[in-house]
């Protein structure tokens, strides 16, 4: 494969960042030229991946490790719809013109063969379309749009059974997409400013790319679900972030429970303390990682629970019997890849959906974010005591191992770079009016 130049784009989106940088690093290790447009708060992490960071100039600059500097501040929202609106208006659609302007300026200064963006950056997609170069979107969680063969993502619904269930799915699909509508004027303003025709819906814009690469295990999604032709499941990225540090385990030989609730701020201090209290009532060792957004010194914990800001989860999971997680995609999938079952405590975002898929797969259970320490302790006891959860987690681990035996994301991006550039590529994604379903 000849050397190509890739321009990546990401934003301070917490768990979405490490998978994007993992792909960028893998391409760099293959000898390609790689640089990454990113918030300045991410530049140290980008450089640690061995690639060149480039700063946004007019697009938003955020830092999810500091609540005051978080662009979205979804922890201030009172409802899931309010949290969604903040993502739509502050990252996806509202600042699309700024993202497009910055990306085009970088492409004019230093052309690239392929533009690769975290899939929420529709302004970056707009720039790639205007520049006429191949564009790939990286979906860093379960595919988040309605498709045939599965319940509409978001509410955490169980798969339909029978005609009434399928009718439910057909009726709910447009309702799930409807809240995107308020972002359409800003998105189309960005498009027309760069000589592109308006799109009929925001959902359409997510698919005006040449490839959508889903960095999630196909085995975790529903078997009968059907996807757009330009979408590829390429397996999860299992690397730990550069800031994970060294592993320190709590003393003793009791079963290890790894607990982790988001690398970004989600107002999770209460839940962290409830988990610590729950583990204090059990004959286990607890390793509780707070992430960079919460000071571990502020978390009260019993003697059998070690609280630390970070730890390399991949190494810790070799010792773990259970993971307690907010069901962020990264932590959930790393646990499953290690064959470790889960107790899920979803806090928001895509986490209810991830938790539902874990439950349907039989690899874990879910408790409310308002669950008491006693309820959390009972959930841990249940997962430890019922071997079916371990069995199903190990089944998924085997499937994930097979899926990640080769780097499919790199192979797809290199193939995309090898095609003719421009708008005449004839890739289905350029002509798809909306997501399937």
State whether 224 and 291 are in the same domain.
no
Residue 386 is assigned to a structural domain of this protein: yes
> Which H or E run contains 129?
helix 122-131
On whether the pTM is more than 0.85, the answer is: yes
Per-residue confidence (pLDDT) for residue 346, from 0 to 100: 93
Burial of 385 (0-12, 13-18, 19+ CB in 10 A): exposed
Per-residue confidence (pLDDT) for residue 21, from 0 to 100: 97
State whether 416 and 397 are in the same domain.
no
Burial of 376 (0-12, 13-18, 19+ CB in 10 A): buried
3-state secondary structure of 66: coil
CATH code at position 318: 3.40.50.2000
State whether 351 and 389 are in the same domain.
yes
Give Cα separations from 133 to 4, 7, 34, 81, 413 (angstroms).
13, 11, 16, 34, 13
Range of the domain at 135: 5-238+404-431
The confidence band for 436, taking pLDDT boundaries of 50, 70 and 90, is very low
State whether 398 and 412 are in the same domain.
no
Residue 361: Cβ within 10 Å count: 21
Residue 329 is assigned to a structural domain of this protein: yes
Per-residue confidence (pLDDT) for residue 158, from 0 to 100: 83
Residue 437 is assigned to a structural domain of this protein: no
The confidence band for 1, taking pLDDT boundaries of 50, 70 and 90, is low
Residue 436 is assigned to a structural domain of this protein: no
Name the residue among 248, 214, 252 with its Cα closest to residue 230.
Answer: 214
Q: What is the pLDDT of residues 296-309, one digit of tens each?
A: 889 999 999 999 98
Q: What's the total number of domains in the chain?
A: 2
State whether 171 and 118 are in the same domain.
yes
Residue 19 is assigned to a structural domain of this protein: yes
Per-residue confidence (pLDDT) for residue 209, from 0 to 100: 96
Q: What is the pLDDT of residues 16-63, one digit of tens each?
A: 999 999 999 999 999 999 999 999 999 999 999 999 999 999 999 999
Per-residue confidence (pLDDT) for residue 310, from 0 to 100: 87
Question: Average pLDDT, whole number, for the chain?
Answer: 91
DSSP 8-state secondary structure symbol assigned to residue 146? -
State whether 134 and 84 are in the same domain.
yes
Average pLDDT over residues 210-214: 97
Name the residue among 197, 190, 23, 34 with its Cα closest to residue 122.
Answer: 190
Average pLDDT over residues 148-155: 87
Contacts 24+ apart (CB under 8 A), 301-310: 301/273, 301/276, 302/276, 302/277, 304/250, 304/252, 304/254, 304/279, 304/280, 305/250, 305/276, 305/279, 305/280, 306/248, 306/249, 306/250, 307/276, 308/248, 309/245, 310/243, 310/244, 310/245
How many Å apart are CA 88 and CA 94, to the nearest integer? 7
3-state secondary structure of 363: coil
State whether 117 and 169 are in the same domain.
yes
């Amino acid at each position: 494969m000849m050397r190509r130049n890739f321009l990546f784009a990401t934003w301070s989106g917490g768990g979405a960042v490490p998978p994007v940088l993992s792909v960028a690093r893998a391409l760099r290790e293959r000898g390609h030229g790689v640089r990454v447009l990113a918030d300045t708060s991410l530049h140290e992490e980008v450089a640690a991946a061995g690639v060149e960071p480039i700063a946004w100039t007019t697009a938003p600059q955020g830092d999810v490790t500091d609540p005051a500097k978080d662009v979205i501040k979804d922890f201030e929202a009172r409802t899931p719809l309010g949290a969604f609106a903040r993502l739509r208006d502050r990252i996806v659609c509202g600042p699309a013109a700024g993202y497009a302007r910055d990306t085009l300026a970088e492409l004019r200064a230093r052309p690239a063969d392929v533009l690769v963006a975290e899939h929420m950056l529709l302004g970056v997609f707009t720039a790639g379309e205007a520049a006429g170069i191949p564009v790939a979107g990286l979906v860093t969680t379960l595919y988040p749009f309605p498709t045939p063969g599965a319940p509409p993502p978001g509410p955490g619904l169980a798969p339909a059974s029978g005609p009434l269930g399928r009718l439910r799915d057909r009726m709910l699909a447009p309702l799930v997409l409807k809240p995107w509508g308020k972002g359409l004027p800003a998105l189309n303003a960005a498009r027309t400013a760069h000589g592109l025709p308006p799109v009929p819906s925001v959902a359409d814009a997510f698919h005006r790319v040449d490839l959508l690469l889903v960095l999630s295990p196909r085995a975790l999604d529903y078997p009968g679900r059907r996807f757009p032709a330009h979408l590829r499941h390429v397996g999860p990225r299992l690397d730990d972030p550069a800031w994970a540090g060294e592993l320190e385990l709590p003393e003793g030989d009791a079963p290890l429970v790894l607990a982790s609730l988001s690398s970004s701020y989600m107002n999770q201090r209460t839940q962290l303390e409830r988990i610590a209290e729950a583990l204090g009532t059990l004959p286990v060792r607890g390793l509780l990682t707070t992430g960079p957004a919460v000071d571990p010194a502020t978390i009260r914990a019993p003697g059998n629970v070690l609280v630390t800001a970070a730890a390399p989860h991949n190494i810790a999971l070799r010792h773990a019997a259970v993971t307690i997680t907010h069901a962020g995609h990264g932590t959930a999938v790393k646990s499953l890849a290690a064959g470790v079952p889960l107790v899920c405590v979803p806090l928001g975002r895509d986490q209810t959906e991830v938790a539902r898929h874990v439950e349907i797969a039989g690899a874990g259970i879910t408790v409310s974010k308002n669950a008491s320490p006693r309820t959390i302790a009972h959930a841990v006891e249940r997962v430890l005591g019922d071997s079916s959860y371990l069995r199903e987690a190990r089944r998924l681990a085997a499937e994930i191992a097979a899926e990640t035996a080769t780097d499919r994301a790199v192979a797809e991006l290199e193939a995309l770079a090898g095609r003719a550039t421009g708008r005449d590529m004839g890739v289905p994604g350029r002509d798809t009016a909306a997501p399937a379903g």
